Amino acid sequence: MISRILEKPLKHPKSFFLFGPRGTGKTYWVKTHLEGAVYIDLLNTETYTLLLANPHRLIEFIPKGYKNWIIIDEVQRIPALLNEVHRLIEQDHHHFVLTGSSARALRKKGVNLLAGRALIYHMHPLVQQELGDKFDLKQALQYGLLPAILSEPNPQAYLKAYVNTYLREEILQEGLTRNLSAFTRFLEIASLSQGQILNMANISREANLSQKIISSYFEILEDLLLGSKLPIFTKRAKRQTIQHPKFYFFDVGVYQILRPRGFSDTQAEVDGAALETLFLQSLKAINDYYEFEYQMYYWRTIAGLEVDFVLYGPNGFYAFEIKRSRTVSKNDAKGLKAFKEDFPDATLYLIYGGDQEYYFDDVEVLPMLQALQRLPEILSKK
């Protein structure tokens, strides 16, 4: 059994949301940590239909005099239930665990997430710290770190089914788009933009869809936590920077299965995006689990100087550049050096595909595996 880092919700006897993409282990976590809790599964058709028709019937699922945890799985499917949850917290002092695959979607539907009466936590794909000796960098880069991958005899088939399930259950059932074939085509084109500066005009032209529709499709991916935009770092900017965000799918395995392979593809393009994705998803998980409160960005000047990831927060200020090659030189750190000139307080890291740790002046050079292992230590320094 893999022990997840997320433990803090259990230390406070207060209702909480647990958000994360499907397949990251939310349901398994709540069931194993809250044995004996009332479990209400909104993916169950009968339960969903009953509560959708009348949210007030939620009370019928709770035994009289019950004082333990109550779990509602995939709560975003019936936002109106949160009014009943709110009432039962206030009136009967019940404790709820509310899992879901979209906090943003709930907010867009006018739900206030219980006005602070419930804490908010996030579940991510696995990280190296949770896997320990079971972590395989090559496997992680190819198939990602969704928990089910570890026990799947055919990880690629699982990832294909995962993507199809999302399309069927989330996109169709929620009515997020009426044109599933166009959205499927968009997903492939979006995967080619992984780790790239978003050019909506180019994507619109390739997908043969309007920029307005393309923008709405990216919003769907963000709503479902399947992807996110990385904004440009502009605080106290001394040089003129690019203004458009980058885009990343939430898991490297999902990116790999969506990305079409063609004759003109280079392995460097695929591997470079995979390394960046793995590192970013690990950054996000560690940041959330340890509550470091970093904001994440990238940095790129009009002249082409670039840093892949910038973390800015109360615990520190960091710049990370990711290189796939097994050897690096000082020239590979020129973006980091330029960033240091503009932001002297930043701590610089160059992450690469080799095996040795060393320094280029102010730049600490780390192998990818070692960097992933040390992330909690690195990000906790002030």
Sign of CA dihedral 73, 74, 80, 85: positive
Residue 237: DSSP 8-state = -
Mean pLDDT for the chain overall: 91
- Give residue 281's pLDDT: 98
Q: What is the pLDDT of residue 318?
A: 98
Residues paired with 17 in a beta bridge: 98, 120
**Look-up of token digits 């502009």:** 234
Task: Determine which helix (DSSP H) or strand (DSSP E) holds 64, and give its type and residue range.
Answer: none
Q: Quote the CA–CA distance of 325 and 274 in Å, as a whole number.
A: 13
177, 219 contact by CB (below 8 A): no
Strand partners, 360: 363
pTM over cut 0.85 = yes
User: What confidence tens digit (pLDDT) does each residue in 86-135 have?
Assistant: 999 999 999 999 999 877 767 766 667 777 778 899 999 999 999 999 99
Distance CA 360, CA 337 (A): 10
The secondary structure element, H or E, covering residue 329 is none
* Number of CB atoms found within 10 A of residue 207's CB: 20
b/e per residue, 270-300, with b = 16+ CB within 10 A? bebbbbbbbbbbbbbbbbbbbebebebbbbb
Structure tokens that stand for 363 in this block: 């730049």
Phi, psi of 38, rounded to the nearest 5 degrees = -70, 130
3-state secondary structure of 60: helix
pLDDT at 181: 84
pLDDT, residue 380, reads 92
Q: What is the dihedral of CA 320, 321, 322, 325, to 10 degrees?
A: -140
At residue 124, the pLDDT reads 97
Res 347 pLDDT > 80: yes
Tokens encoding 233: 């770092």
Q: What one-letter code names the amino acid at 14?
A: K
What is the per-residue pLDDT for 266?
Answer: 60
Distance CA 283, CA 312 (A): 12
Report H helices in the chain.
26-33, 45-53, 81-92, 103-108, 128-131, 137-143, 155-165, 180-192, 200-207, 211-223, 252-258, 267-289, 334-342, 368-379
Give the separation between CA 240 and CA 219, rounded to whole angstroms: 27
239 has pLDDT over 90: no
Which pLDDT value is given to residue 19? 94
pLDDT tens digits, one per residue of 273-292 = 999 999 999 999 999 999 99
> In CATH, which of 3.40.50.2300, 3.40.190.10, 3.40.50.720, 3.40.50.300 is domain 8-122?
3.40.50.300
Residue 224: pLDDT above 90? no
Joined together, the tokens standing for residue 247 give 């885009």
Measured CA to CA, the distance from residue 52 to residue 74 in angstroms comes to 13
Output the furthest CA–CA distance in the chain (Å, rounded).
69
The arithmetic mean of pLDDT across residues 187-211, rounded, is 92
pLDDT of residue 57: 96
Number of H helices and E strands in the chain, helices first, is 14, 13
DSSP 273: H
What are the domain boundaries of the chain?
8-122, 128-379
